[in-house]
Amino acid sequence: MQLHLLVLIFAATTILGRLTSVSTGVLVSWRCAVAAVGAALWCLWVKRKSLGLERVAGLKLLGIGAVIGLHWLCLFGAVKVANVSIALAGLATLSLFTAMTEPLMMGRKPRAGEIFLGLIALAGILLIAGVETRHAIGLGLALMSALLAAIFMVMNRKVVVAGADPMVMVAWEMSAAAAVSAVSIPLVGEENWQALWITSAMDWLWIVLLAVVCTVFAQAWTNHLLRSVSAFSFNLTANFEPVYGMAAAAIIFGENEQVRPAFYGGAVLIALSNVLQPWLQRRCSTEA
């Protein structure tokens, strides 16, 4: 239940990103900067906890934060170039990428069951996305976003299992993500750093919601849950994000052309992969 409530928050991320009128780099920069400040204040004032870390630990978190920043640049870039449905469809290949990256990064052999379930989820995503040649660039950015998400999720779990404080992690990681995003502004598109000056009250509202609810709260909750679930199990459940997000996009933005009969077939396959995962995990544990 906690995982699915968290996925609902994740699904709201792309919706809020679509509502803003600013560019991708500006959006991600401010989202991460506000989140970093919010997490730091929570640690210092509420938890009375120091943000200081050893050099190696700090560098690890900054590295993870850089990957997170690139992930969000790709994800929101897909939303801006294509639409919410395409971005979420590509992102939902997360379980397949995790099935490949987690064994490599954790030093274990790939599990046939994880790859099998990831392929089921991928088949569901292909049904949902359909043949969208018009949005090839957007789908490509979304797939890159999924790969980066798979990488940082495994990296984050290593740090969490080692005993790091989730909110301290958010403060450090979001600082690096903000820096990476800010550097990207003049490199991508025709804007410069003056674009960071935002005057729209509505844009600030969406950005603050993204930062506080969808970043500080969601990221800390994610890090907490990773203490007891694997990165693959977490990301497999996250495959419900496109189902929730596409339904919301169809209602809010009228992206009804994406919600075809294939959408429901894809949703069933994604649900099936999540239903089979705990059963397959128990079976593998028993056999071991």
pTM given for the model:
0.82
CB within 8 Å of 82: residues ≥ 6 apart:
132, 135, 137, 138, 139, 142
In the chain, where the domains are located = 2-287
Q: How many CA atoms lie within 13 A of 282 on its CB side?
A: 4
Q: What would the mean pLDDT of 33-53 be, rounded to a whole number?
A: 90
pLDDT of 173: 94
Cα-flanking dihedrals φ and ψ of residue 68, to 5°? -60, -40
pLDDT of 113: 79
Which long-range CB contacts under 8 A does 244-247 form with residues at least 24 apart?
244/7, 244/8, 244/11, 245/11, 245/12, 245/14, 245/15, 245/84, 245/85, 245/88, 246/84, 246/85, 246/88, 246/89, 246/128
pLDDT of 36: 95
Quick: pLDDT tens for 201-216. 999 999 999 999 998 8
Highest-pLDDT range among 1-10, 208-217, 220-229, 230-239? 208-217
pLDDT of 223: 73
* Residue found under tokens 């938890």: 47
Burial class (CB in 10 A: 0-12, 13-18, 19+), 46: exposed
**Mean pLDDT score of the chain:** 83
Tokens for 47, please give them. 């938890």
**Of 24-28, 86-90, 179-183, 281-285, which gets the smallest average pLDDT?**
281-285
**Of 58-62, 90-94, 171-175, which gets the smallest average pLDDT?**
90-94
pLDDT of 177: 96
Q: What would the mean pLDDT of 63-78 be, rounded to a whole number?
A: 94
Quick: pLDDT tens for 80-114. 888 887 888 788 777 778 877 878 887 777 777 77
Please, which pLDDT band fits residue 248 given cuts at 50, 70 and 90? confident
Q: DSSP character for 163?
A: T
